[in-house]
Amino acid sequence: MIRHGYVTGPALGGLWLIVLSVTVAVAMSFGTGEAFRPSVMLSLLWGAVAGGVMVALGRSPTVQAGIFIGSMVGLLSGIGPMLVGPDTSGFASVFGAILLSASFVVSLTPILKEVVPGALNRHEFEGAVIRFLTGFGYIFFTAIVLIPFYVMVMTSLKNQSELIQNPLDFSIDLSKGAELFRSYDELFTQFNFGTYLFNSFSISVLTVFITLAFAIPGAYAVARLRFRGRAAFSRSILLIYMVPMIVLALPIYIAFSMTGLRNSFWGIVMIYPVTTIPVALYMLQGYFRGLPGEVEEAGLMDGLSRLAVIWKITLPLSLPALASVSLYVFMIAWNEFLLAFMLLDDPSKFTLTRGIASLNSSEIPRQHLMAGSVIATVPIMALFLGLERFMTKGLTAGSVKG
């Protein structure tokens, strides 16, 4: 029943228009701060009509133009799938209408490309549904990922009164110039964020090196050398990785309080690597196992010692894995919050995450909090977008086989 051109076409058309009108309304509201509102019922109706027309008359440019014009007329006369508030400016409503109509026509055409009048076979029907779901998926994921970050960045560029006046308005007033970055300026000049940035960076880099120094020999031993208890050891690494930090944090807090290591840079540098060694060891041993053993054996035959083999053969061969493990460890150390929060009280020793936590008070404006968040997020994102390939490979290499 549902696999019939005149059912599938209108149904997908209606649902797709709902998706698009919600998307465009949210985007226009965030972009201009003015009132846009999708109407679910009207969207369903208009979309169903458009879908039906497209199935009946084909997808020729004339039909597309007709749907575009019909949609524009509906939108501008106030009975379209997206309604505008009474105070919305004419330019914004026309722009929104064009955006919605154009994106609808352009995207509905490929979605319905195999839907013909009459009964559909499974392939045609499922193909159309999958294309609809794919379109929905791209919009959905991009929206849920981008909106929080967009809000973060835009909030940091505003001032208190602008934020309260219209929480929806995320447009940027470029005429303010450098004044836009006032929160950032204040964070660095009055709130010591330069120091926090430096602390976070040096702690993370030290953590990476210490972790590698421990994990490389360990991973090599687990991956290559035969010894009694190897299987048990390999499992207990995973087990250790499952102990929750909060359970360890309590005794560590007590021990650090009693030995005076709390509030010290070296205390943090001592504790971070231990949280990352097990995972680094696990990832590296997975990679080492995958390396051809013959090369190492050749090295051994030629008189190299084991340690020399590790240094001269294994490590150069596993540079990509080392890069991804370093990146991952760096990320863990950079983002770590719980231990920094519990162990650091002295503002001169804060890491970035601890510094942001200290901004969370009613006396400090929210744009400062968001500016701090941006400062902490941007370096790690830049690193990831640049080295994404390593990350994807490295994270999955250690654990996924075949």
Partner 1 sequence: MVDAQPPSGTGPLGKREARLAWRLLAPTISAVALVVILPLLAIFWISVKPVQLSDLRAPEVVLREDLRGSPEAPGDEATLRYRLRNSSQDQPIVNVSIEDVIPEGLEVLLVDERCTLSGRDLRCEFGDWEPGFRETLTFPVTVSQVYFDNDIRPQDSEALVDGRSSNVLTNSTFTLDNFKRIFNGDEFFEVLWITLFYTVFGTIGALLVGLFAALLLNKSFKGQGILRGLYLFPYVSPVIAVAFAWLILFDPFSGSANALLVQMGVTDEAINFFGERPLALIMVTIFEIWRYFPLSFLFILARMQSIDTDMYEAADMDGASPFQQFWALSVPQLLGILSVLFLLRFIWTFNKFDDIFLLTGGNAGTRTLTVNVYEQAFAISNIGAGAAVAVVIFGCLLTFSLFFLKFISREEGL
Site for partner 1 in 315-354 (CB under 8 A): 331, 334-335, 337-338, 352-353
Cβ distance to partner 1 smaller for residue 49 or 339: 339
Cβ distance to partner 1 smaller for residue 54 or 222: 222
CA–CA separation, 104 and 117 (whole Å): 21
Cβ distance to partner 1 smaller for residue 60 or 150: 150
Of 50-58, 97-105, 184-192, 218-226: span binding partner 1 (CB under 8 A): 218-226
Shortest Cβ 20–partner 1 spacing (Å): 15
Report if residue 85 touches partner 1, rule: CB under 8 A.
yes
Please name every residue paired with 82 in a beta bridge, in sequence order, or none if there are none.
38
Site for partner 1 (CB under 8 A): which residue of 49, 277, 279, 322? 277
Spell out a b/e string for 103-130, using b for 16 or more CB atoms within 10 Å of the CB, else e.
ebbebbbebbebbeeeebeeebbebbbe
Query: Are 38 and 176 contacting, i.e. CB atoms less than 8 angstroms apart?
Result: no
Shortest Cβ 57–partner 1 spacing (Å): 27
Report the alpha-carbon angle 238-243-248, nearest 5.
Answer: 140
Site for partner 1 (CB under 8 A): which residue of 16, 46, 193, 220? 220
Q: Residues 29-48 vs partner 1: string with x where CB under 8 A? A: xx----xxxx----------
Shortest Cβ 249–partner 1 spacing (Å): 8
Angle in degrees, 0-180, between the axes of helices 352-359 and 193-224, rounded to the nearest 10:
140
CA–CA separation, 272 and 269 (whole Å): 6
Cβ distance to partner 1 smaller for residue 55 or 310: 310
Report if residue 260 touches partner 1, rule: CB under 8 A.
no
Instruction: Tell which positions 174-213 bind partner 1, by CB under 8 A.
Output: 213
Instruction: Tell which positions 230-249 bind partner 1, by CB under 8 A.
Output: 230-231, 233-235, 238-240, 242-248
> What is the separation of C-alpha 395 from the centre of its chain, rounded to a whole number of angstroms?
15
Shortest Cβ 69–partner 1 spacing (Å): 27
Shortest Cβ 271–partner 1 spacing (Å): 7
Of 44-52, 58-66, 101-109, 380-388: span binding partner 1 (CB under 8 A): 380-388
CA–CA separation, 223 and 287 (whole Å): 9
Site for partner 1 (CB under 8 A): which residue of 65, 69, 255, 298? 255
Cβ distance to partner 1 smaller for residue 34 or 50: 34
Report if residue 222 touches partner 1, rule: CB under 8 A.
yes
Q: What does the chain come to in residues?
A: 402
Cβ distance to partner 1 smaller for residue 37 or 59: 37
Is residue 36 classed as helix, strand or coil in its secondary structure?
strand
Of 127, 7, 116, 2, the residue nearest 58 (C-alpha): 116
Instruction: Tell which positions 279-298 bind partner 1, by CB under 8 A.
Output: 281
Where does 260-365 have alpha helices with state H? Answer: 265-290, 293-301, 306-309, 315-317, 319-335, 338-343, 352-359
Cβ distance to partner 1 smaller for residue 315 or 338: 338
Query: Are 219 and 285 contacting, i.e. CB atoms less than 8 angstroms apart?
Result: yes
Instruction: Tell which positions 90-149 bind partner 1, by CB under 8 A.
Output: 122-123, 126-127, 130, 134, 137-138, 141-142, 144-149
Query: Are 144 and 103 contacting, i.e. CB atoms less than 8 angstroms apart?
Result: no
End-to-end CA distance of the chain: 42
